[in-house]
Homo-oligomer: A and B are copies of this chain.
Amino acid sequence: MLNAVRRELPEYIEGYGQVKTFQGANVEQDKPVRRQVVIDKDSVDGNKVLSSLQEAMARCGLTDGMTISFHHHLRNGDHVLNMVLEEAARLGFKNLKIAASSIFPVHAPLVRHMENGVVTGLCTNYISGPVAEAVTHGLLHTPLVMHTHGGRARAIEAGDLSVDVAFLAAPSCDACGNINGVNGPAACGFLGYAIADAHYARRVVAITDNLVEYPNCPVEISQEYVDYVVPVASLGDVQGIISGTTMITRDPVGLRIAQFAAEVIAASGLLKENFSFQTGAGGISLAVAAYVREMMKKQKITGSFASGGITGYLVEMLEEGLFRAVFDVQCFDLLAVESQRRNRRHQGISASFYANPHNKGAVVNNLDVMILGATEIDKDFNVNVTTDSNGVLIGGSGGHSDTAAGAKLSIVVTKLTKVRLPIIRDAVTTITTPGETVDAVVTERGIAVNPRRGDLRQRLEQAGLLVMTIDELQEIAQAMTGKPDSLPPGRDIVAVVEYRDGTVIDVVYKV
C-alpha cells in the first residue's frame, strides 16, 4: 500500500508488526492516550543504593526479551549503555530490545552484542557510526525502529513503546534517586530525553558517578520514579558531550547559504518582536544564527525563545537579551550546561514538552523559524537525513520532523551538491521529514519555495531574493554532477522510519 508520501509499504513487517501508514503531517487518528502504569516496587524505606549492575538487574527482574532504555545526553562520551550491555552479556542475557534516544560511534560494542544475540531489537531517534553500518548490513535480528524526538516521548507515554527497565545516566544523584544533570563530573545539562523513560518504565535504575548527600537539589527526576541507584566510577567522557559541529562555518559557500537563509527570515515577516528560533548545531545553521543575531540587534528585537539542543552561542544571545528564554532539551556544550545551572530563563524541558505531537501543545508548535539540514531533498520537498545516497544509515530525524511540523517557517539550508552528488533528487533514498512541512530550501545558487507557500514565495520575490523552482535548482545541480544513478530497489527491510505520530513514513533496506 502507498502512504501519503507515496512510499510503497507492506501491511505487515516481520519483527515490527502491523504497519500504520503515514497519512499526512496533521492527520489525527485515534484519540491519543497516556498509558496506565502499574507501580511495581519494593518497599521504599529510603536507601535505594545497590552494589552492582548485576544486583540491579536481578532486583528489576530483568529477563531475556525485555526492553531496556537509555538516554543520550552524554552523546559520544556515553559509557552507560556500553557498561549495562557488557554486564548483561556477561550474565548471559539474550534477546534484549534496546530503546535508546540516540546511538553514537562510542556505542560500537553494541555490534558485538547484536552478533551474539544479546541484543535483537533496537529503536532510536538518531544513529551513526559502526552500529548504524551494522544495522544497514542486516546484522540486527529485527528491523531497527527510527523515532523522532517527540515521537519517542509520545510512543513511551502512549504505551506503543513499553520499557521494562530504564537505565538513567545520572550526573548527580542521592541515595533515594533524586537526579539532576547539572552537577557532577559528567554534568551534561537537563535530562530532557530521559523524562518519559523515568515516568513510564516499569523499573528505573539511576547509574551515577556522583552520589551526593540527600537531598540532591535541584531535583529534575524525583525519587517518586526511581527504583534503584547504582554508583559507578564514571558515566563517560564529558568532552564527548560536545557535538561534533558547534562552530560557525568559515567556508564561503556555507556563509553565502547562511546569508540567503537570513534574508529569507527577514523577508518572511516573522523577524519581529517575540521572534522564536531554532537551529541545529551544524556550521551553516550556526552561521544563520549569527546573521539573525546581527539583525535582531540592529532592529532592537527582543525574541521570545530559542529552543532545541542548546549551544554556548544561544546562551550568549540569551544573555544579550535577544531572547527572553531558551528551552533546552539537551545541552550541546559545556557553556550551555553552566548556563542552565545558574539561569532560570535557561529552562530545561522534557522531550514531550519539546516535541510530542499528542500533548496539549509542544514547544515546537510555538516556533517561528526552524533551520534544518538535509542529506537529500526530493521535488516534493521531502527530506532525507536518515541515510546517505547509498542507503547507509547515517542519522535520523532527532527533532527534524518535529520542528519542521511545528515551525511557521522551516528552512532547509544545504549546498547544492555534496561529494559530487546533487542534493535535490527525483526521489530521496529515505523520507525522514514530509515535504508538506518544509517551506523553503536555501542553497548557494538560489532558493526554492514549497508551492504550498505561495504567500512566502511572493514575499521573497518582493524582497528581491533569488527564488526559483526546485526543478530549476535540480537542473543547476545536475549540470554540475550529472544525473545520479538510482539505488537498485531494496528487498530486506532493516529499518522502519516512524513519523512522529507513530505511522510509518518509510523503510530502509539492507545494503
Contacts and interface: CB of A to CB of B under 8 A. Distances in A.
Given A215-B305, A219-B347, A325-B215, A362 B33 contact: no
Interface in A172-229: 176-177, 204, 213-215, 217-219, 222-227
Contact of A36 (B33, B46, B219, B359): B33
A40 to B, nearest CB: 7
A360 B227 contact: yes
Given A215-B327, A304-B215, A224 B347 contact: no
Given A224-B356, A365-B44, A347 B217 contact: yes
A344 interface: yes
Interface string A232-271: 0000000000000000000000000000000000000000
B36 A353 contact: no
Given A31-B38, A34-B39, A223-B353, A361 B46 contact: yes
A176 B361 contact: yes
Interface in A359-387: 359-363, 365-366
B305 A361 contact: no
Chain A interface SS verdict (over half): loop
Interface string A341-363: 00011010100110010111111
Contact of A48 (B35, B349, B361): B361
A34 B46 CA distance: 21
Give the oligomeric copy count.
2
A324 interface: yes
- Chain A, interface size category, equals 35 or more
Interface in A309-337: 324-325, 327
A294 interface: no
A482 interface: no
A214 B38 CA distance: 36
A33 B37 CA distance: 5
Given A324-B215, A347-B215, A224 B33 contact: no
A204 B360 CA distance: 10
A45 interface: yes
B222 A349 contact: yes
Interface in A26-61: 31-41, 44-46, 48
Contacts of A356: 224
Interface of A: 31-41, 44-46, 48, 176-177, 204, 213-215, 217-219, 222-227, 274, 304-305, 324-325, 327, 344-345, 347, 349, 352-353, 356, 358-363, 365-366
14 contacts: A31-B40, A33-B36, A39-B359, A41-B360, A44-B360, A177-B361, A215-B347, A217-B347, A222-B349, A223-B361, A223-B362, A224-B352, A224-B359, A224-B360
Given A213-B324, A217-B345, 12 more contacts: A32-B38, A32-B39, A35-B36, A44-B360, A44-B361, A46-B361, A48-B361, A213-B304, A214-B305, A215-B327, A217-B325, A218-B344
| List of 4 A-B pairs having minimum Cβ-Cβ separation, nearest first | A44-B361, A224-B359, A36-B36, A34-B37
